[in-house]
Amino acid sequence: MKIYTDTLNANSVSIQSDEYGTRAYVNSTRGRSQLEAECRADIVQQVYAVWGDTPTVIEPTIPEQPVDTSPTLNDRVKALEQAQLAALGL
């Protein structure tokens, strides 16, 4: 593994490995977790020597769109048709 020292700064780093190729990591909570999971301890220590103990990048949260569970027009027509057929005994 090799750290690209020209890309190591307080917010990010690029690291080249034979296993993964070149990967970039961001100094965020998730980026730190990925770095620790994918890199050797000595590499992580070198990066943390520059990054320090606190993440500097806050990742945006994407709000989830609520799922509309109300019946559609087709659902209502189908239910009405089934009710009519049931009323006729079919």
For 4-8, 65-69, 81-85, which range has the lowest pLDDT when averaged over its residues?
A: 4-8
pTM confidence score: 0.63
Q: What is the radius of gyration, based on Cα positions, of the chain? A: 27
Q: What are the extents of the domains in the chain?
A: 2-51
Residues 6+ apart with CB under 8 A from 17: 1, 2, 23, 38, 39
20-68 pLDDT, tens digit per residue, is 788 999 999 999 999 999 999 999 999 999 999 999 999 888 888 888 8
Residue 62 identity: I
Q: Which helix (H) or strand (E) holds 60?
A: none
Confidence tier at 83 by pLDDT (50, 70, 90): very high
